[in-house]
Amino acid sequence: MSEPLLQVDNVRKWFPIKAGLLQLTVGNVRAVDDVSLTVNKGETVGLVGESGCGKSTLGRMAVKLLDPTAGRILYRGQDISRLGGSGLRAYRRRMQIIFQDPYSSLNPRMTAGAVIGEGLRIHSLVPRSEVKDRVGELLTRVGLGPADFARYSHEFSGGQRQRIGIARALAVEPEFIVCDEPVSALDVSIQAQIVELLRDLQQELGLSYLFIAHDLAVVRHISNRVIVMYLGRLCEQAPRDVIYDSPAHPYTKALLSAVPEPDPQIPLQPMPLPGEVPSAASPPPGCRFEPRCGQAMPICKESQPQWREIEPGHFVACHAVGAG
Amino acid sequence: MPLLQIRNLTIDFRTLEGTLRAVYGVDLTVNEGEVVGLVGESGCGKSQTCLSIPRLIHPSGIISADEIAFEGRELTKLGERAMRSLRGNKITMIFQEPMTSLNPCLTVGEQLAEPLVLHRGMDWHAAEDRVVETLSRVGISDARQRYREYPHQLSGGMRQRAMIAMALVCEPRLLLADEPTTALDVTVQAQILRLMLRLRDETGTAIVLVTHNLGVVAQSCDRVSVMYAGRIVESGTTAHVFGSPEHPYTRGLMRSVPRLKPPAGAPVRLESIPGSVPSIAAMPGGCPFHPRCRYAQELCAQALPSPVELEGGHSSLCHFAGKLDSLGVTA
């Protein structure tokens, strides 16, 4: 068993809904509700789900851009959710995040060099006189060049901006990177370049990724293990090929059946998925997927399914799985 | 006679840097009841081509064409008033962003009934019944209730259904769908694609589907035109273009898309197309794709290829179409 790097332990993130003159809390949006997962050293965990399922909120908690309402986030055994000051700063260096939108995640008033060099200066990783050389190395590593040091973000294309975002994350020599939809804003031919760059960097530097995306084919390509989320909870987790070739949870099946393959020989046969995703402010009391599930049973309305291991490494939260 | 026939369509934009060409000599034919895909990456001109049909491009744009014939009528010669009577009536559009394309200050019903009142001379009462019926047809439950609601009260998938209902309410002959599912989740996308195809089967409406998603094209189009840098580089039936692509760009695109079910023997690495799409202000000479092409030869830098006709109406804008496999490939 490889060593766990990140452990998310029964984490919950509720966003209060405030209303009225006194701004009283009248409810909570349960973006993430009792979720546990582990990322081991050197592996890529894919986290998939549709918009609003809580996958980005979870990713942001993993690098402490958000603090959980309840639960713990352990990085190498240390609870980072309660960390502050210099202790926190040391951890910030070890974990980084790459954002979805390369247009809004780079400061338009900073040059590429300033964006990438900021982390080097804050953490005093190299002497000031060497910052420029190190940034040049990083730019080269992500497929740009030292000449791009003084250019501003608007001078770059979307794919190039995402390369700057990756260089910025790499500057502080992290061990763990949350990739939050890193390729979904990019064109198809550029997506492949960035995905392969991320894979090469992982091999070279021994990085671990939590790779968040809604594109199931991209996730299959890059991940070792895949986790499926629906309305703030985990549905299923399994090694990559297991989840794609023999999914167990009805939602995973519906999701996979809806992906159009770029091959007219493989007809699209989406499973019916009636209704809409319920509001995360008033989720169904039993299984979150019950109102839309073709296999729902009376028990699914009443109690939340347990997270069970149905075969080694394959976990699922569904009353119907294995129930005969 | 095809429903829509475009020949040699060129679109220029007047900008501060001079006149820039976004679309070069595009030909497109759409028959009754046919779904035709226009696929390509951002900036390839696919949306402008589509928008130029009902003349909805930015005012700085200049459309010129040998022919844009719809039901045999020449659209480029049509006055603004006559064009307005076609838009939202016989030719309708679905846009990518359902939130920004619906008016937030009007109820869903008011926006959907408007074309009926304007084009069909219906009164608002009769129009309401027709709109409610259309809303139910696109799978919106409680249609009578939704009629009185505002766009913000609907989910993303619902809004896109409402947009489709708006495009269908006058029973158009031609539906122009510009990235209709790009902003949607994959399960909703599957539902919307199904819905569009079902409506085509029921009413015989032809659809031009603009998208960057090869999966969407493969699953819904009868024919497809692949665009790159303002030109159609390959076109043909979906089976031909996907089964035996004969333009290096189409091949590159297909190799760079990860598959949900990778075919046996698929390479472990995705093959990306090196470099990026040229800016329309700095088009390379010769074939516009040659700087990124793994098959490029000397000729490609010098001369713009002319379309090569292959079997069954399949054509490719490449000097070496039909002979690509015999060329040495630079890795």
Q: What pLDDT is recorded for position B254?
A: 93
DSSP β-bridge partners for residue B9: B26
Say if strands A70-75 and A4-19 run parallel, antiparallel, or are unpaired.
antiparallel
Contact A260 B190 (CB under 8 A): yes
**pLDDT band for position A323 (50/70/90)?**
low
Residue range A76-135, pLDDT digits in tens: 998 988 888 888 888 889 999 999 887 888 999 999 999 999 999 999 999 999 999 999
Contact A260 B213 (CB under 8 A): yes
Mutate to test the interface with B, among A268, A271, A279 (most CBs of B within 10 A): A268
Instruction: Tell me if chain B has a CB within 8 Å of the CB of A124.
Output: no
Instruction: Tell me if chain B has a CB within 8 Å of the CB of A204.
Output: no
Q: What pLDDT is recorded for position A322?
A: 75
Render each residue's pLDDT in chain B as its tens digit; 331 residues.
Answer: 899 999 999 999 999 989 999 999 999 999 999 999 999 988 899 999 999 999 999 999 999 999 999 999 999 999 999 999 999 999 999 988 777 889 999 999 999 999 999 999 999 999 999 999 999 888 888 899 999 999 999 888 888 889 989 998 988 999 999 998 888 889 989 988 998 899 899 989 999 999 999 999 999 999 999 999 999 999 999 999 999 999 999 999 999 999 998 888 777 888 888 888 888 888 999 999 999 999 999 999 999 999 999 999 999 999 999 999 888 776 5
For the whole model, what pTM was predicted?
A: 0.90
Q: What pLDDT is recorded for position B330?
A: 60
Fold of B1-90+172-269: Rossmann fold (3.40.50)
One-letter amino acid at A171 equals A
Nearest-CA distance from B79 to chain A in Å? 37
DSSP β-bridge partners for residue A11: A35
The DSSP code for B87 is B
Q: What is the dihedral of CA B231, B233, B238, B243, to 10 degrees?
A: -160
In this complex, the residue of A189, A257, A266 whose CB is nearest that of residue B256 is A189
In b/e form, how buried is each residue of B255-266, taking b as 16+ CB within 10 angstroms? bbbbbbeeeeee
Domains and CATH numbers, chain A: 4-285 (3.40.50.300)
- Number of residues written out for chain B: 331
* Residue in chain B nearest A271 by alpha carbon: B187
Mutate to test the interface with B, among A100, A189, A235, A273 (most CBs of B within 10 A): A189
Query: Would you kindly state where each structural domain of chain B is located, as residue ranges?
Result: 1-90+172-269, 100-169
ipTM of the complex: 0.88
**In the numeric block, which tokens belong to residue B77?**
């010669």
CA A276 to chain centre: 23
Residues from chain B that touch A189, judged by Cβ atoms under 8 A, are 41, 252-253, 256, 272-273
Say if strands B206-211 and B174-178 run parallel, antiparallel, or are unpaired.
parallel
* Residue in chain A nearest B273 by alpha carbon: A189
Contact B158 A276 (CB under 8 A): yes
Residue scoring higher pLDDT (A8 or B138): A8
Phi-psi region of B8 (alpha: psi -120 to 50; beta: other; left: phi over 0): left
**pLDDT band for position A184 (50/70/90)?**
confident
Residue A313 has phi, psi (to 5 degrees) of: 80, -5
Task: Please report where in the chains the tokens 């338009």 appear, as a residue.
Answer: A108
Contact A195 B258 (CB under 8 A): yes
Could you give the angle at the alpha carbon of A242 between the alpha carbons of A236 and A245, nearest 5°? Answer: 105
Contact A188 B190 (CB under 8 A): no
Of B285, B276, B232, B283, nearest to B20 by C-alpha is B283
d(CA A62, CA B115): 50
d(CA B107, CA B112): 9
Instruction: Tell me if chain B has a CB within 8 Å of the CB of A246.
Output: no
CB–CB contacts below 8 A, A to B: 124
d(CA B200, CA A75): 54
Q: DSSP H helical segments within A40-157, as ranges?
A: 55-62, 85-94, 112-122, 131-141
* Residue in chain B nearest A278 by alpha carbon: B155
Q: What pLDDT is recorded for position B331?
A: 52
Mean pLDDT score of chain A: 92
Residues from chain A that touch B156, judged by Cβ atoms under 8 A, are 51
Q: For a pLDDT cut of 90, what percent of chain A falls above it?
A: 76
Say if strands A95-98 and A176-180 run parallel, antiparallel, or are unpaired.
parallel
Mean pLDDT, to the nearest integer, of A296-310? 94
Q: What pLDDT is recorded for position B221?
A: 97
Nearest-CA distance from B116 to chain A in Å? 29
Q: What pLDDT is recorded for position B272?
A: 84
